[in-house]
């Protein structure tokens, strides 16, 4: 029987050798200028060597103000391109495709200076009160996403993901818990979506490769968004040229979330099958058997692995063993595999 986890997957002009994706995870390891360091080269290349098909680089800031921390990677300046080129070259050399998640932290930016958001509402009592963005600032930020996409293209990335989850800026515009605007970016769900829609349109003027969007498909709050809202958002994303939705959840406001293996998979399932768009599943997926079940039952198209790949860069091999199949080893490791 074919193991779907190890079957190829083509999205637009990019073929992945299997369905395993390294989920974007902040490393807080850049230098003070947001540039790639040796840490990033070792970290990402080792997962490519280990058999992961798509290596997605962590949330990379489109402006200095949009960093989650002052040690985040950046893509707001052409000086970032050389290090990112080295990174994509290493990933490609070791048999994987390279993706980058471009992001703006909004009110969750933990940096010196003021932070910006759709509305002047802090994340929690310990957070800065953000400045409500003017329409000029919104336009500047959309342009920053477009320019970041152009730099990602020059840097050799195969796929771009827009970070629309986890309470960062795009997510803040989407959720009524963080967006109380009364202009064209607030009020209705369609108006809340407008910021993301305009980012996608701007990005697509410079990028024709696969475009992913990560969403938080549940705010875990009675007045927030649920997966049913995201089915509608997903249909708009599809119309606007998004190729795959990376389905996460939470973190737009503090919330008690009951987590368990695969707790976010039902959100991916609903969006994939009700909005008819490709999805990636993420969230405490730790075994090959679990990943195979998700794929065979049509609940996602790709499997995004996060912490398990931090624990084990060779998780694809472990998953193959669990599924009683094998994958090619790096030539240098044949005696051990």
Q: Is 96 annotated as a binding residue?
A: no
Instruction: Tell me the C-alpha distance between 102 and 41, whole Å.
Output: 18
* Contact assessment for residue 90 and residue 133, using Cβ atoms and an 8 Å cutoff: no
Q: Is 33 annotated as a binding residue?
A: no
Q: Is 209 annotated as a binding residue?
A: no
Instruction: Tell me the C-alpha distance between 217 and 224, whole Å.
Output: 10
- Backbone torsions φ then ψ of 187, nearest 5 degrees: 100, -90
Q: Is 26 annotated as a binding residue?
A: yes
Q: Is 165 annotated as a binding residue?
A: yes
Q: Is 311 annotated as a binding residue?
A: no
Q: Is 163 annotated as a binding residue?
A: yes
DSSP annotation of 133:
P
Say whether 151 sits in a helix, a strand or coil: helix
Q: Is 258 annotated as a binding residue?
A: no
Residue with tokens 């193959």: 320
Q: Is 61 annotated as a binding residue?
A: no
Locate all alpha helices (DSSP H) within the chain, ordered by sequence: 38-49, 81-93, 135-154, 169-174, 189-203, 227-239, 265-275, 288-296, 307-311, 315-322
Q: Is 320 annotated as a binding residue?
A: no
- Which residue ranges make up the annotated binding site for substrate? 28, 163-166
Annotated binding-site positions? 23-26, 28, 59, 101, 163-166, 214, 306-307
Annotated binding residues for FMN? 23-26, 59, 101, 214, 306-307
């Amino acid at each position: 029987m074919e193991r779907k986890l190890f079957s190829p997957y083509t999205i637009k002009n990019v073929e992945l050798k299997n369905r395993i994706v390294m989920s974007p995870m902040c490393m807080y390891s850049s230098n003070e200028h947001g540039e790639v360091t040796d840490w990033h080269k070792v970290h990402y290349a080792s997962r490519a060597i280990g058999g992961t098909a798509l290596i997605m680089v962590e949330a990379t800031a489109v402006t200095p103000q949009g960093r989650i921390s002052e040690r985040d990677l950046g893509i707001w300046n052409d000086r970032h391109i050389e290090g990112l080129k080295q990174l994509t070259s290493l990933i490609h050399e070791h048999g994987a495709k390279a993706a980058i998640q471009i992001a703006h932290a909004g009110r969750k930016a933990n940096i010196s200076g003021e932070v910006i958001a759709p509305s002047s509402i802090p994340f929690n009592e310990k957070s800065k009160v953000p400045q409500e963005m003017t329409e000029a600032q919104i336009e500047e930020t959309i342009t920053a996403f477009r320019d970041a996409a152009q730099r990602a293209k020059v840097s050799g990335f195969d796929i771009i993901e827009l970070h629309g989850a986890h309470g960062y800026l795009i997510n803040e515009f989407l959720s009524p818990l963080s967006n109380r605007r009364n202009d064209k970016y607030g009020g209705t769900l369609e108006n809340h979506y407008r910021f993301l829609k305009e980012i996608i349109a701007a990005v697509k003027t410079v990028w024709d490769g696969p475009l992913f969007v990560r969403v938080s498909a549940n705010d875990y709050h009675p007045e927030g968004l649920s997966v049913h809202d995201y089915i509608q958002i997903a249909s708009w994303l599809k119309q606007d040229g998004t190729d795959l939705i990376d389905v996460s959840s939470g973190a737009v406001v503090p919330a008690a979330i009951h987590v368990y293996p695969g707790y976010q998979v039902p959100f991916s399932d609903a969006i994939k099958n009700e909005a008819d768009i490709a999805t990636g599943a993420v969230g405490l997926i730790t075994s090959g058997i679990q990943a195979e079940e998700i794929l065979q039952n049509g609940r996602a198209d790709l499997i995004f692995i996060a912490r398990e790949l931090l624990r084990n860069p060779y998780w694809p091999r472990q998953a193959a063993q669990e599924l009683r199949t094998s994958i090619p080893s790096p030539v240098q490791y044949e005696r051990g595999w």
